[in-house]
Amino acid sequence: MKKKKIFPERSTSLRKNGSQELRISFKKNNIKKVYIINGSSFITENNLSSILIIKPENHYMIINKEENPIEITYSRDISNHQVIYDPYKYEDSEKINFKAEFFKRKYKIPKGYIITLPKWYSFKFTYPDHNLIFVRPEYGLSIQIHKYRNELWEILDGNPIILNGNTVYYYVKSGTKFKIPINTFHTVINPNKKKFVILKEQWSGNFNEEDISRVFNPNNYT
């Protein structure tokens, strides 16, 4: 594959470049509303030149925030580049929300949770002072910001990919913590084939699911 058309609010897969430099050219100049993962950088404010350079072994992904499709051309065939995360792999699959009992059977879920938030790609147990979140294999949460709360994440299991602000962290070890201030881009991606990612989420400020602004929502969750 050497060319791709990316429709509005869609993206490429997250891939890992091979051993040679990759150049990605954009057919349209002065593209301003494109989000890019390039290695450990998450770029959201840009006036792109016609060429994007991906260094050897770097991860890369392009998200189209323009109102119209954009066309990109790769300098080499990328079909042999490893796909780390395909946001649309299960797009046409039946969406059945998880139930709490599924996780109670598999994990030692602490007692005392107040409410749950079931989805087909994740599950959240809410306690008085924290959330316990499970992310399904080969899925990611939306890239989002919170308007009224800060968050503190602690990775419990699963070696996820974490996007926090303008930095991307790959295969994060258990015990690692992330501070996520108000109005900061963040997400978690589960690159595993079978294993769930588990994280603990604490907050300060106004905890309300309505304060979420999803800037990239491949699961189409509303």
CATH class as words, domain 3-85: mainly beta
d(CA 181, CA 162): 15
Listed residue (56, 54, 50, 46) closest to 12, CA to CA = 54
pLDDT of residue 207: 65
pLDDT of residue 47: 59
d(CA 84, CA 17): 11
The residue ranges of every structural domain in the chain are 3-85, 100-216
- The model carries a pTM of 0.94
pLDDT of residue 185: 96
Per-residue pLDDT of the chain (222 residues; tens, 9 = 90+): 788 999 999 999 999 999 999 999 987 666 778 999 999 999 987 656 678 899 999 999 999 998 889 999 999 999 999 999 999 999 999 999 999 999 999 999 999 999 999 999 999 999 999 999 999 999 999 999 998 889 999 999 999 999 999 999 999 999 999 999 999 999 999 999 999 999 999 988 776 667 788 999 999 987
pLDDT of residue 49: 65
Give me the torsion for CA of 127, 191, 41, 87, rounded to 10°. -90
d(CA 5, CA 28): 12
Instruction: Determine how many CB atoms are found less than 10 A away from the CB of residue 94.
Output: 6
Which strand ranges, in their side-by-side order, compose the sheet holding 70-74?
A: 3-6, 70-74, 22-26, 51-54
* Residue 37 burial (10 A CB sphere; 0-12, 13-18, 19+): buried
**Rg of the chain (C-alpha set):** 18
- CATH hierarchy code of domain 100-216: 2.60.120.10
d(CA 175, CA 172): 9
Angle subtended at Cα 70 by Cα 88 and Cα 35, rounded to the nearest 5 degrees: 65
